[in-house]
C-alpha cells in the first residue's frame, strides 16, 4: 500500500460560541476564541489517500482528480468564508479544528473513488492540528 498526500491552504474566519452557555461560561471555556466578531486563520489541509499504484499509470489516484475534489469540496466551501455562518455542514457545531476536520472527512470520503481516504490532517496553526482516520474494522475506538 502506498500513501499519497496532497496539501492545500485556505483562509477562513470563525468564533467559538455555544448559545447554551452563559456569556461568562463561553468566555471561560473558549477564551479569546469567543470574541464576538470572530477571527481568522490560514488553515493547511493535508489529505492522504491510500492505495496500490495502478500498474499502467503508476498512480494511486490521479492528482488532477484529487485537486478537483479538494477545490470543489473544500476550497469553494470554506476558503475566505466565515465558517460559523457560511458553511452549512458546520451549522450548529463549534467550528473547532476537530469539527472542521471531521466535516472535511465526511465531504471527501464519498468522493474519493480511486484508493481510499486514509487521513485528513487540518492545521489551524503550525502548532495545532486535528487528524481524522477511518476507524479500524476491528472497531478501534478512542476511549
Chain positions contacting another protein, by CB under 8 A: 16, 18-21, 29-31, 92-99, 101-103, 105-106, 119, 121, 126-136, 140-143
Closer Cβ to another protein, 48 or 69, answer by number: 48
C-alpha cell at 91: 451549522
CA angle (135 as vertex; 134, 141 as ends), nearest 5: 145
| Complete DSSP assignment for 85-98 | HH-GGGTTS---HH
C-alpha cell at 113: 473513488
Among 17, 118, 124, 132, the active-site one is 124
CB of 2 to another protein, least distance (A): 12
CB of 64 to another protein, least distance (A): 26
CB of 31 to another protein, least distance (A): 7
Among 33, 41, 46, 98, the active-site one is 33
Q: Residue 36 and residue 30: Cα distance in Å, rounded?
A: 11
Q: How far is CA 28 from CA 1, 23, 49, in A?
A: 46, 9, 39
Q: Residue 109 and residue 105: Cα distance in Å, rounded?
A: 6
Closer Cβ to another protein, 42 or 57, answer by number: 42
CB of 27 to another protein, least distance (A): 12
Query: Quick check: is 71 catalytic?
Result: no
Among 24, 80, 89, 98, the active-site one is 80
Query: Quick check: is 39 catalytic?
Result: no
Query: Quick check: is 138 catalytic?
Result: no
Nearest to 77 by CA among 114, 47, 103, 102: 103
Closer Cβ to another protein, 39 or 62, answer by number: 39
Catalytic residues, by residue number, are: 33, 80, 124
Amino acid at each position: 500500500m502506498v500513501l499519497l498526500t496532497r496539501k492545500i491552504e485556505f483562509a477562513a474566519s470563525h468564533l467559538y460560541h455555544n448559545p447554551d452557555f452563559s456569556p461568562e461560561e463561553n468566555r471561560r471555556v473558549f477564551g479569546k476564541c469567543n470574541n464576538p466578531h470572530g477571527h481568522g486563520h490560514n488553515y493547511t489541509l493535508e489529505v492522504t489517500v491510500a492505495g496500490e499504484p495502478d500498474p499502467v499509470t503508476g498512480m494511486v489516484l490521479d492528482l488532477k482528480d484529487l485537486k478537483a475534489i479538494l477545490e470543489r469540496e473544500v476550497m469553494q466551501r470554506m476558503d475566505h468564508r466565515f465558517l460559523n455562518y457560511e458553511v452549512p455542514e458546520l451549522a450548529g457545531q463549534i467550528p473547532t479544528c476537530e469539527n472542521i476536520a471531521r466535516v472535511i472527512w465526511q465531504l471527501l470520503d464519498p468522493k474519493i473513488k480511486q484508493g481510499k481516504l486514509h487521513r485528513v490532517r487540518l492545521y489551524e496553526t503550525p502548532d495545532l492540528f486535528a487528524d481524522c482516520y477511518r476507524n479500524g474494522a476491528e472497531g478501534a475506538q478512542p476511549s
